[in-house]
Amino acid sequence: MITDFFKCDHNGRMTGDARREQILQTAVDLFSKRGFKGTTTKEIAKAAGVSEAMVFRHFASKDELYGAILHNKGCQEGVQRFPWDENEELIEAIKRKDDFAVFYNLAINALDKHHSDVGFMRLLFYSALEEHDLAERFFGEFVARIYGFIGGYIEERQRDGAFREFEPKIAVRAFMGMMIHHSLNNILWDKQRNILDITNEEAAKNFAEILLRGIKA
């Protein structure tokens, strides 16, 4: 249960920080199911077990609450920690210029992230469809840096003569497209895996191989 995660004082009452976190967690759940426009602060308060006034005590508006979700996910839960920040295997693969290991690690990291937080993924989809600021912020603060990093690695390997000449961002989009489409199928359209039932490891391995066969010199 959500409340198991929160810190309480010695009398069993939820602390202010814990209450704020509970509101955020509840908002993610409701926004991911109904979208921003389809969710009211009254519904969030009821689901979180607090008053609507308490919601506004922590967040001045629904927009502020919505925006705080991205910050919370990035700073506290690691959604915006980049795969090259802490993944020693990936860092070593880059140093060795082991192309398969680089793209496999990038793929498995992304797929595991997608499936570990389905609610946040659904929220981002809703945000994009509703043209809300959250989608643009997420793209600007996270996705654009992913393009820059992977594109930079491809450019380096092009200079080495290992990859053929082409616009690196095209390869990045193709690579990310495989991963995102795979996750979309599993999260939204084919939850029972009737079309394709493979592990994230199998998917990452095949996506890396498909990409490399298309871009190697």
> How many Cβ atoms sit within 10 Å of the Cβ of residue 202?
11
What's the burial of 59, exposed, middle or buried (CB within 10 Å: 0-12/13-18/19+)?
A: buried
Domain limits of the chain? 2-75, 81-215
Highest mean pLDDT among 27-41, 136-150, 168-182: 168-182
- Share the mean pLDDT of the chain: 83
The CATH code of domain 2-75 reads 1.10.10.60
DSSP at 5: G
CATH of 81-215, one of 1.10.260, 1.10.357, 3.20.20, 1.25.10: 1.10.357
Q: Which helix (H) or strand (E) holds 26?
A: helix 16-34
Distance between terminal CA atoms of the chain?
52
> How many Cβ atoms sit within 10 Å of the Cβ of residue 210?
14
Whether the predicted pLDDT of 2 surpasses 60: no
Q: Are 206 and 174 in contact (CB under 8 A)?
A: no
Q: Is the pTM of this model over 0.75?
A: no
Tell me if residue 121 falls in helix, strand or coil: helix
| 81-130 confidence digits (pLDDT tens) | 555 556 789 999 999 999 999 999 999 998 998 888 787 778 777 778 87
Whether the predicted pLDDT of 16 surpasses 90: no
Tell me if residue 36 falls in helix, strand or coil: coil
pLDDT number for residue 131: 80
pLDDT number for residue 82: 55
Give the residue with greater pLDDT, 70 vs 172: 172
The number of residues in the chain equals 217
Q: Are 32 and 122 in contact (CB under 8 A)?
A: yes
- Whether 81-215 and 2-75 are alike in CATH topology: the answer is no
pLDDT number for residue 78: 45
Give the residue with greater pLDDT, 165 vs 143: 165
